[in-house]
Chain A
Amino acid sequence: MNTIGKAERPEGGAGPHSTEFEEAGIRVRRALATFGPDEPLTLDCGVKLSPFTISYETYGELDATKSNVVLVCHALTGDQYAASTQPHTGKPGWWTSMIGPGKPIDTDRFFVICQNVIGGCMGTTGPRDIDPSTGRPYGLDFPVITIADMVRAQAMLLDKLGIGEIFCVIGGSMGGMQVLQWAAAYPDRVFAAIPIATAARHSAQNIAFHEVGRQAIMADPEWKQGAYLAHGTNPAKGLAVARMAAHITYLSEAALHRKFGRNLQDRDSITYGFDADFQIESYLRHQGSTFVDRFDANSYLYITRAMDYFDLADDFGGVLANAFKGTKSRFCVVSFTSDWLFPTSDNRQIVHALNAAAAKVSFVEIKTDKGHDAFLLDEPEMFATLRGFIGSAARAKGIGA
């Protein structure tokens, strides 16, 4: 797994590296920005992280006035490959349904940026990278990061790129948390914000699920207190179990029933054993085993922790509305009826707070049985809403068609 990580870095030296290519009618730039000792990232935990790198992609062209920037924030196990083929898996980007020519986030019109989050494992500095003070991979010596830290790092990259205001910041799940953090921390830089299937604070149930995942990783003897890279081991089994448990929470009972029911996997009858008799078992095992090829176990610990710690109101005297006080940004909140991980009630709390802050807010609850993952899937109603919202916001900002 670590070899993949190293191959991923474009030489890992100083200064922004980038490659450019055309894919599916999109101008893709794949780049790495390095922040030297003179530009540390100040983390919520008090540590100044330095040096660090941010791996990111851009789609489309920045207009002359730099007014057409759309920042896409990825979810827990997402990455910067939102609309281009993921180089390690060879699979399409995770949001090709949303981003592209003529799509709701139209790459012929907008300059789209997607960054791997701090703590991640796709080229942005995370626990897998070398700790300059020891010369060994950070492992658990990597400082605990927060959603605010992720957003702070993203803002530093935009500063480096000379981008002030963002036309639109958008993301689902943990990406939605970053959207909220952006709107609260940098209200003057956000023209429009689209938090999808998210919450202003992580619920007890969600923290509980994350803890199950983390304990699965830590229970794997190959985890070695987080120092598996130094030991040459890989806690793939623990990480796979974590992924399997989490994956269930991304779906819904109705979707599981529709897709799998009690169907058996490549057999006519049950085997009276513990093979994957049922299709759902086989599916989950597959999800687990493919995940470990592209994700780092310690990154999973750190990023789930960042989500657990997220409680936006906490930074504003316990009143969420204060996080958005005086905001000029316009918001479009989206939730899904069958999402039990970030249910509509969580999203409505955001709407409630935005109303209390007299913000311009739209909200739509999409009817679907696809659960939390619906934001990544083909949901025509979601596309229609977002196309309308983004289009009208672009008109309001005077971005050309």
Chain B
Amino acid sequence: MSGTTGHIDGRIDLELIAEMISPGSRVLDVGCGDGDLLALLQSKKNVDGRGVELSQEGVNSSVTRGLAVVQGDADTDLADYPDDAFDYVILSQTIQATRNPKEVLRAMKRIGRRVVVSFPNFGNWRVRLKLLFDGRMPETQSLGYSWYDTPNIHLCTLLDFAALCDDLGLDIEDAVILTGNKARRISNPGTLANLFASDAVFLLSRRN
């Protein structure tokens, strides 16, 4: 869970997330890595930001940049945060590396009024074709690991993720998919988006 475990162009991902955040809000970045996103959000959106990061190097880099980052694990340490503590809780390219994604999302929903999640899409056509024709675990630009050393233990497709959100009472407020390096806003994750997206960014809110 040390920062970005997917292999997409980090800047695009971060920029897309930043666009979804209202200026001046309170933000928690779970799995904040070196603090790139928090630094971007502070300079661009003037947010009051906090981070959680598993790796010592990530914490040290973040703290050196003046960011308030706590060493911790998304799977266990989100329990330390009170209800409604943040306007946004962000999980960028990390959910697939958590041990219990459902509980992590549930905790994020409790802590933040809105939840932002970005992840690599396992439903992408390249992934499907690799498994179909090569008969081997897919390694793509977004998923650049062998099956035996990947930190990505809970991969999912767009449709899987949407179903989990529905299950948890999280509504999709906004969704952007990446195809190659092109970003496209979608109204709802459908079959085609699930086929073409290499990655996706979701803005979620609690269902009323």
Question: Which residues of A does B touch, CB under 8 Å?
Answer: 321, 330, 332, 348, 351-352, 355-356, 358, 360-367, 381, 384-385, 387-389, 391-393, 395-396
Contacts and interface: CB of A to CB of B under 8 A. Distances in A.
B85 interface: yes
Contacts of A358: 26, 85
17 contacts: A348-B80, A351-B80, A352-B80, A356-B85, A358-B26, A361-B68, A363-B69, A363-B70, A365-B71, A366-B56, A381-B56, A387-B64, A388-B60, A388-B65, A389-B63, A395-B66, A396-B66
Contact of B59 (A321, A348, A364): A364
Contact of B71 (A330, A352, A364, A388): A364
Interface in B49-92: 50, 56, 59-72, 80-82, 85
A384 B60 contact: yes
Given A356-B82, A388-B60, A393 B66 contact: yes
A360 B68 contact: yes
Contacts of A330: 68
A172 to B, nearest CB: 18
B64 A355 contact: no
Given A362-B68, A367-B56, A388 B63 contact: yes
Given A330-B68, A348-B80, A351-B80, A364 B60 contact: yes
Contact of B70 (A361, A366, A391): A361
A391 B64 contact: yes
Interface in B71-125: 71-72, 80-82, 85
Q: Is the interface of A mostly helix, strand, loop or mixed?
A: helix
A36 B61 CA distance: 48
B69 to A, nearest CB: 5
A120 to B, nearest CB: 32
Nearest to B82: A356
Interface residues of B, number: 21
Contacts of A356: 81-82, 85
A332 B63 contact: yes
A20 B87 CA distance: 53
Closest 9 CB pairs of A and B: A388-B64, A392-B66, A363-B70, A360-B68, A352-B80, A388-B63, A356-B82, A364-B71, A362-B63
Interface of B: 26, 50, 56, 59-72, 80-82, 85
A392 B26 CA distance: 20
Most buried by B among A321, A363, A365, A389: A363
A388 to B, nearest CB: 3
A355 B84 CA distance: 12
Contact of A381 (B60, B72, B85): B60
Given A351-B70, A363-B69, A391-B64, 18 more contacts: A332-B63, A355-B82, A356-B82, A358-B26, A360-B50, A362-B67, A362-B68, A362-B70, A364-B56, A364-B60, A364-B63, A366-B56, A384-B60, A388-B60, A388-B61, A388-B65, A389-B64, A396-B66
Contacts of B80: 348, 351-352, 355
A355 B81 contact: yes
Contacts of A361: 50, 68, 70
A345 to B, nearest CB: 11
A371 B68 CA distance: 26
Nearest to A394: B66
Contacts of B61: 388
A281 to B, nearest CB: 36
A65 B82 CA distance: 38
B36 to A, nearest CB: 16
B63 A355 contact: no
A53 B62 CA distance: 42
Nearest to B79: A352
A392 B71 contact: no
Contacts of B63: 332, 362, 364, 385, 388-389, 392
Contacts of B70: 351, 355, 361-363
A324 to B, nearest CB: 13
A355 B89 CA distance: 14
A118 B56 CA distance: 37
Nearest to B62: A362
A137 to B, nearest CB: 47
A108 B70 CA distance: 29
B185 to A, nearest CB: 32
Most buried by B among A348, A355, A365, A387: A355
A392 B72 CA distance: 21
Contacts of A363: 59, 69-72
A362 B82 contact: no
A400 to B, nearest CB: 17
Contacts of A321: 82
